[in-house]
């Protein structure tokens, strides 16, 4: 289906700013002719997106994978720093946090509860199940009904929730019937343990099959201005009112880097901010979830919600896959 384990690990770079990026040490910064005061940063500037017609969240969320240890394994080196990042995200009006039981494993969910419980009104936590973690940087499929049930129960306990707002099948299991996995999530929803069901790392066929069983409120796939393999899925989601959550928002390759850097310099912004701005403009159902373990990078990510690209800049970035393919 075009999503390999190696590509999945690229999510380690999930919205992280380059280490040499820095925030201007001044009160404000100009983005697209608009001054954004650091004290007024807010994810609400990205607008809102509906999840299943039941929940509305700001269109710039936070991915909590990077808060764990190396190899997405074990606790973070700086636990207090990780907790501070989560609390700062909420202060910046981020009201959608994406995690998974496999991040750590379990560590990311535990950190979220430690930092934010009791949760502020309107905060939506989306988690996932469908992987086993035998060790650092090791992921093995398990979307059997029994595993998913245990995963949901474990996430409820770690997140200190009675019901999970958004629960995502992390990835289809090649040896488990896809319908069996989705039917299990539908049953858990009927039992009141899940509010809404979502998918991750899926094809259009998977989405259509799942929707025959239960409404799907979001799809999370790898996607960026320079990695448009799932364009047709984004278009389908937009037509169907399904939120699309892109991971790995920075495109790789020289052509992508050249175009990104040029536009970033024009706006006095970072390449990641421009990449996020492109995603937000790509579709009203787009919900980026850039992750980071740094408050400085978090603030840069949120500032991207105020960056407005010109039509020419948007189109130039949109042509990057074609330009790369012609070389």
Within 50-144, residue ranges assigned H as helices are 79-91, 107-116
Query: H/E element holding 37?
Result: strand 34-37
**Which one from 8, 103, 223, 314 is the annotated catalytic residue?**
103
Structural tokens at position 80:
């207090």
Query: Helix, strand or coil for residue 172?
Result: coil
Please, what is the Cα angle at 17 between 75 and 220, to 5 degrees? 75
Query: Whose CA is closest to 217, among 256, 239, 244?
Result: 244
Q: Is 8 one of the annotated active-site residues of the chain?
A: no
The pair phi, psi for residue 30, each rounded to 5°, is -90, 130
DSSP string over 127-161: EEE-EEEEETTEEEE---HHHHHHHHHHHHHHHT-
DSSP type of residue 177: -
Query: Helix, strand or coil for residue 3?
Result: coil
Structural tokens at position 273:
């901010």
Instruction: Supply the residues annotated as catalytic.
Output: 103
């Amino acid at each position: 289906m075009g999503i390999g384990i190696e590509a999945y690990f690229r999510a380690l770079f999930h919205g992280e700013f380059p280490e040499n990026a820095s925030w201007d040490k001044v009160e404000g910064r100009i983005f697209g002719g608009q001054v954004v005061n650091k004290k007024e940063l807010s994810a609400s500037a990205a607008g809102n997106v509906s999840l299943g017609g039941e929940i509305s969240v700001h269109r710039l969320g936070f991915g909590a994978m990077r808060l764990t240890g190396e190899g997405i394994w074990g606790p973070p080196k700086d636990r207090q720093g990780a907790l501070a990042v989560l609390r700062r995200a909420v202060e910046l009006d981020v009201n959608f946090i994406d995690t998974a039981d496999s991040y750590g494993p379990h560590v990311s969910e535990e950190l979220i509860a430690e930092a934010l419980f009791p949760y502020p009104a309107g905060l939506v936590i989306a988690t996932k199940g469908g992987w086993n973690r035998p060790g650092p940087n090791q992921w093995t499929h398990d979307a059997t009904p029994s595993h998913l049930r245990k995963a949901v129960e474990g996430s409820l306990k770690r997140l200190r929730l009675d019901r999970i707002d958004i629960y995502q099948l992390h990835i289809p299991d090649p040896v488990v019937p896809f319908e069996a996995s989705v039917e299990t999530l539908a049953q858990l929803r009927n039992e009141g343990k899940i509010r809404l069901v979502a998918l991750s790392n899926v094809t259009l066929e998977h989405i259509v099959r799942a929707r025959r069983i239960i409404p799907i409120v979001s799809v999370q796939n790898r996607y960026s201005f320079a990695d448009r393999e799932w364009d047709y899925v984004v278009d389908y989601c937009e037509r169907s009112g399904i939120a699309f959550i892109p991971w790995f928002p920075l495109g790789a390759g020289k052509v992508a880097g050249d175009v990104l850097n040029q536009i970033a310099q024009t706006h006095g912004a970072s390449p990641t901010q421009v990449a996020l701005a492109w995603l937000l403009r790509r579709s009203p159902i787009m919900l980026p979830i850039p992750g980071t373990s740094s408050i400085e990078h978090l603030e840069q990510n949120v500032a991207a919600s105020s960056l407005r690209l010109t039509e020419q800049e948007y189109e130039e970035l949109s042509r990057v896959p074609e330009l790369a393919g012609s070389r």
